[in-house]
Amino acid sequence: MVKQVVTVFGGSGFIGRHLVRKLAANGAEVRVAVRDIEAAQFLKPAGDVGQIVPWQTDINVPAQVATAIAGADVVVNLVGVLYERGKRTFQRLHVDAAAEVATAARAQGVKRFIHMSALGADVGGDAAYAQSKAAGEQAVSSAFPGATIFRPSVVFGPEDHFFNMFAGLMRFLPVMPVIGAPALPRISFGGDDLVSIDFFGDGGCKFQPVFVGDVAAAMVRAIDDPASSGETYELGGPRVYSFKQIMELLLAVTERKRTLVPVPLGLAEIDAMFLQWLPKPLLTPDQVKLMQTDNVVSGSLPGLDALGVDAVAAEAVLPTYLQRFRTPTQQGAHAI
């Protein structure tokens, strides 16, 4: 990468911290545009003195957005939320703020704009999250026609919400859900058992988890690749997993034994009505709507391979950061 000034909105978040480190390693001067600069100070040692600068920015204040962008060669927008709280709505952050950042970037002559969306973005979808992500893409492309858009599936890595959350729940719950299982079990006759009952069907909702390091690498390569201008990339890992397979993988990694329980989407939506009010919701009704559609790449758009990134499988990475969820006895045995 030629030395550039890169402003990363949301740079202290899960994906942002990995991207900032890769940008710094490639010689870029990085401004980490965040609401709380103290919470972003941990990134500074990842670069030389003055190379990574936390930049006080309220994305709701146009003047602060413009200041964070002034003089930048590249702008990356990673701002997003998984659930709504107060003023932090999907419309405000995924659409209005994205449009504001893209408009300011174009007005100041920024050369490249990278925007984080999500797999399943769909203006006609049932989930408000998917609708807002699609509307955000449209707003960004309208304001900055050469913007590069990324749509990742579930992103995994040391600070992820998805795998860490379920691995954490396994420490306390005797059973684990398989969301998206059929409402009625499938009964078949014949064979050695004469009658067999299948409670899980295809294993529930499908996901194609992608490693956070691969997402960050793809973004860095897109910045230096003129051919990526105006493109939309779907990012998925090398394997598709059903919800049941994900639970089984987590049980194997944490070396725990738990009973898997089928949870049809209808029942999951009822549970979500209560779980959504937790400080950090385990599940919301809108997320249940998202799971009505498999979260896998369509194959009609370029992916990681188009940017020369070899996708890393979840099996290769999960053990490196989920070992802490094993029982103390198990951890001690592995330390011997």
Mean pLDDT of 119-136: 96
Over 70: is that where the pLDDT of 333 sits?
no
CA distance 38 to 53: 11
Amino acid (1-letter code) at residue 155? V
Supply the pLDDT for residue 187: 78
* Residue 2 CB-half CA count within 13 A: 6
Over 90: is that where the pLDDT of 192 sits?
no
Helices (H), strands (E): how many in the chain?
12, 15
Token pair recorded at residue 111: 């050369």
Strand partners, 152: 235
95 alpha-carbon distance from chain centroid: 17
- In terms of Cβ atoms closer than 10 Å to its own Cβ (0-12, 13-18, 19+), residue 232 is middle
- Which range has the worst mean pLDDT, 106-115, 167-176, 190-199? 190-199
Q: Measuring CA to CA, which residue among 201, 128, 204, 133 is closest to residue 166?
A: 204
Supply the pLDDT for residue 194: 64
- Roughly what angle, to the nearest 10 degrees, separates helices 314-322 and 162-169? 60
| Cβ atoms of residues 44 and 52 within 8 Å | yes
pLDDT per position as a tens digit, 232-261: 999 999 999 999 999 999 999 999 999 999
- On whether the 5-152 domain is CATH 3.30.1490.190, my answer is no
Q: Most confidently modeled of 190-194, 298-302, 332-336? A: 298-302
Token pair recorded at residue 227: 């051919």
Other C-beta atoms closer than 10 Å to the C-beta of 217 total 20
| Cβ atoms of residues 2 and 24 within 8 Å | no
pTM: 0.93
| Cβ atoms of residues 81 and 14 within 8 Å | no
| Cβ atoms of residues 206 and 245 within 8 Å | no
| Cβ atoms of residues 19 and 11 within 8 Å | yes
pLDDT per position as a tens digit, 154-163: 999 999 999 9
Q: Measuring CA to CA, which residue among 13, 76, 110 is closest to residue 222?
A: 76
CA distance 70 to 54: 15
Q: Which residues contact 2 (CB under 8 A, 6 or more apart)?
A: 224
Q: Where are the domains of the chain?
A: 5-152, 162-205+241-293+322-328
Pairing of strands 259-263, 175-179: parallel
Supply the pLDDT for residue 336: 45
Token pair recorded at residue 254: 């944490």
Q: Measuring CA to CA, which residue among 180, 169, 158 is closest to residue 263?
A: 180
Pairing of strands 206-207, 241-242: antiparallel
Supply the pLDDT for residue 113: 98
Pairing of strands 148-152, 175-179: unpaired
Strand partners, 28: none
pLDDT per position as a tens digit, 54-109: 999 999 899 999 999 999 999 999 999 999 999 999 999 999 999 999 999 999 99
